[in-house]
Structure formats: structure tokens, C-alpha cells
Amino acid sequence: MKVAVVGVTGLVGKIMIERLEQRNFNVSGLIPIASERSQGEYVSFKNKKFPVVGIEDGLSLKPELALFSAGADIAKDWVPKFKKSNCVVIDNSAAWRMDKNVPLIVPEINADVLTKDDKIIANPNCSTIQMVMALAPLHQKYKIARLIISTYQSVSGSGYKGAAQLADERQGKKNSDAYPFPIFMNVIPQCDDFEDNGYTKEEMKLVDETRKILRTDKLRITATAVRVPVLIGHSESVNVEFENDYDLEDVIKVLKETEGIQVMNNGVHPMPLLVKESDKVCVGRIRRDESNPNSLNLWIVADNLRKGAATNTIQIAEYLVQKGWIGAGSKD
């Protein structure tokens, strides 16, 4: 099928192209879309080169599937236009995630909510995806009552600007394009802008998106999101309180048997260096919280550009193909 990648020259867009090729996704024609400054460039895919076009020209080429990674403002403006042209859109921004009519999908967890009529599908936030991958099977078995989350998020979560600021500061150059404070040799307890309640947008994404994916409005969640001087890989310390007591060995067994999870609980811990270019969500430091009944501590690490963004998007598309809703011979 014709596949458009919107935001193709960004960090996530480039990895979307790589993963489409590596996972042998059925692309008959690639439509790379980016802003004006990238036009004239070419994108390599399966030993062919495709010219980067503007979004209006890309829409006129009538893709059947569009993978968006271009920010919320562009998604709000253009996703409905792609939908109107009978294109299925999977959007990686925050624009549509909390729309009650738009499914928010991690395929291993809640692909069952998708239908053939869904033309806009939201990809969750990177920090949410890796966390719910570990929490969903535990919630299903033990019912989670409360979550206390602390994240340690890499600069690639801020795109090229975050990566450039860290690189420049390492070389002694001043750069505040991504963050108002230095990130090299520092941690910044602020990811995204602050809301009126004193929490950042990133922290509220963890609250709202987790509830939507796990299908429970009653789940009590509080979060603190922190930016750290790491290039790729988000880490999370998650304190889980269940409704009732649990068996620790069974928790470990459940996680080991969960698709997409790698348990690292013996000496070698999940770390950003170990997850780079992996689609696995690594879980370690699994231990009982001895200060509170029915509670558990987890350490969760994943490549935020892969499973946290590009790979999850493509897995959603693969599910749609598998169901026969897009692609050759799709069921209208």
C-alpha cells in the first residue's frame, strides 16, 4: 500500500522508515513528508530513493496509511484532511490521545478495542507505553489501586533540539534551545510545560493515558517526570499498590511470560545503554515495598524512540493489516 510518513526527517520519523524496512512492512509506494526546509532531500527505503515532499503534495498522492510524527499542531490541522481522503492515520503526537472517539493503542494490551471504522488511531506517549507494557498484565491479575511514578527521561524525547543541547554543552558551548537550564551534568525536574495544577504536561500524560489504556478511571496516579543527560532510553521507578496482597514470585513469572517484556532481575539491571535499538521493555529491581501493604517496586527501561514511538506505531499498522482493514484486499 501507499504509506506516508509525516515528519520523516525527525528522530522518530527516521526510525519509522528503518523499522518499516526491517519489519518488511508491505509498502508499494513510500511518501516521505516533511517541512519546507527538508524538501529537495531524499529518503532511502529498500534500495530506492524517494523525494521528500510537503504535506499538501503528500496528501494529493492519496496514501492509504499515514504515520504522523510531526507534533500536535500539525496533527490537529492535517490528520482530519488525511482521514477525509480515506487514509488511515496513526498519530504519534498528543493531539488525539484523549479524544474519546480515538483509540489509544499499545497493541499487546488493547488492540481489541480497534475496529475497521477507526480512521484515526493515537500512539501513546513514550513514557506511558513502556510503563503500561509492564503494568497491564499485573493489573489484569491483581488489580492496581495506585501508582507513584518517577521518570528519568532522555534528551531524545525532546527531538533533535534536546540531543543538540546535550552535545553542545558537553563541548562547552551554550545552548538553551530545548531546555531553559543546562542538561549536561544536571537533571531537570521538568518535562514539558507546567499545567495549572503544578504538574507538567508529561506528568499528566502518564496519568490520563494510563487510565485510558488500562480502561479504568478510578486508578489513583501521581507522577514526577525528570529530564536526565542521557541520549536515548527512558527509565522509570514505579511504585505499584494493588488492591490485595500478591505473590512476588508470581509477579516475576507473569512479567517473564508477557510478550515484549524482558525481566532483568539478577545482578544486571535495566539501563539505557542496554536497551538502545531494542524493542523490548526491560523490567528489574522487582521487590516488595516493605513500607506499605500490597505494594511493589519496579524499574522499567526502554528505548523511547523504538517501542516508545516508532515501533509501536508500526505494530498498530501491522495489526490493521492482519485484520484485513488496510492493504491489498482490505475489507471496506
What are the grid coordinates assigned to 26, written together?
508491505
User: How many other β-carbons are positioned within 10 Å of the β-carbon of residue 185?
Assistant: 8
In 3D, which of 90, 94, 93 has the Cα closest to residue 107? 90
In whole angstroms, what is the distance from residue 21 CA to residue 25 CA?
6
Q: What residues act catalytically?
A: 126, 234
In whole angstroms, what is the distance from residue 166 CA to residue 272 CA?
16
User: How many other β-carbons are positioned within 10 Å of the β-carbon of residue 296?
Assistant: 20
Q: What is the Cβ-side half-sphere exposure of residue 252, based on CA atoms within 13 angstroms?
A: 11
In whole angstroms, what is the distance from residue 66 CA to residue 31 CA?
9
User: How many other β-carbons are positioned within 10 Å of the β-carbon of residue 322?
Assistant: 12
Q: Give the Å distances, CA to CA, from 25 to 1, 59, 160, 254.
A: 9, 21, 26, 30
Taking the chain, what is the end-to-end CA distance rounded to the nearest angstrom? 15
